[in-house]
Amino acid sequence: MFNIIYRGALYSYQCESLDFQAGMIATFSGNRGIKIASDKDVPIGFFINSSDGNPFEYIESGVDSHQAIAVGQGEYVTDTIEPGEYKINDFLYCSCNGKITNEKIYWGNIIIGIVNSVEGSLIGFVTCFAKGLESVYAPITENIILNSRYDLIKNK
């Protein structure tokens, strides 16, 4: 399930993936083509509906493999997530399966969004598509020595 609360845009692309779920993360695969993203890809948006039916489907020149995806800044609610415990303000990433996750093994990858609501198996989130913000929350090691300007001048 994938509900759009607020979205930036909907676009239709030629889809290479034949089996996807609404809410899975999409990435470019070639000349205006899309596929299911992995943790190594740059995410561009979210599939709106499952591959077995799409009311937003756009057919161009008799080609029936076009799929609409939501791109850009937006606010969404979905249950297409990797299993785990989600909390408000968690950073979200793309897992190796193309689903949303908050696992720390994906730190350093592009941040898909930030959780703003959790209700059972549904999470709400706002997209940000940014990189590197999680380092602000990384724990500081205890063996770092912080010196004042005076200590540095005096070579202490």
CATH number at residue 35: 2.40.300
Does residue 146 fall inside a structural domain?
Answer: no
| Type of residue found at 129 | F
Tell whether pTM > 0.85. Answer: no
Q: Give a yes or no: residue 155 inside a domain.
A: no
Domain membership flag for residue 151: no
Among 34, 26, 30, 40, which residue's Cα sits nearest to residue 99? 26
Structural domain count of the chain = 1
83-97 in b/e form (b: 16+ CB < 10 A) is eeebeeebbbbbbee
Would you place residue 103 in the very low, low, confident or very high pLDDT band (cuts 50, 70, 90)?
Answer: very high
For 17-75, the pLDDT digits (tens) are: 678 888 999 999 888 789 999 999 999 999 887 666 544 444 444 445 678 888 888 99
Has residue 55 been placed in a domain?
yes
pLDDT band at 141 (very low <50, low <70, confident <90, very high): very low
- pLDDT, one tens digit per residue, over 123-132 is 999 998 888 6
What confidence tens digit (pLDDT) does each residue in 104-120 have? 899 888 999 999 999 99
Name the residue range of residue 116's domain: 2-137
> Would you state the pLDDT for residue 92?
94
Residue 143 lies in a domain: no
